[in-house]
Amino acid sequence: MMNQEISGMTAPDQLQAQIDSLSDEEKQMAKQSLQEIKAIIEQLIAQGATEEEIMQMLAELGITMEQLEFAEQLFSGNNELGISI
């Protein structure tokens, strides 16, 4: 079961292998992109954007809210996913 996809997401061991193949620069760029997306969302919320408008913006970037939240978990200092960055 560890190598299977769960709810459309890549299995943790496969994800860890993909993360391990990234350079430190690529990991830093991903973290910076995540921070920029979060800042944009905060700006949109401050400007009164609806949840639908935020979801549309994320869709234009090619990601879902679930993927964004997963990325936030990965980069958090104490992620409980068993995956290290």
Average pLDDT over residues 2-9: 46
DSSP 8-52: TBPPHHHHHHHHHTS-HHHHHHHHHHHHHHHHHHHHHHHTT--HH
The per-residue pLDDT for range 38-72, each reduced to its tens digit, is 999 999 999 999 999 999 999 999 999 999 988 88
State the residue range of the domain holding 81: 26-85
Residue 85: partners with Cβ closer than 8 Å, 6 or more residues away: 19, 27, 31, 74, 75
**40, 53 Cβ separation under 8 angstroms:** no
13: in domain: no
51: in domain: yes
Number of domains in the chain: 1
Q: Which two tokens stand for residue 65?
A: 């809210």
- CA 12 remoteness from chain centre: 14
16: in domain: no
31: in domain: yes
**pTM score:** 0.72
63: in domain: yes
42: in domain: yes
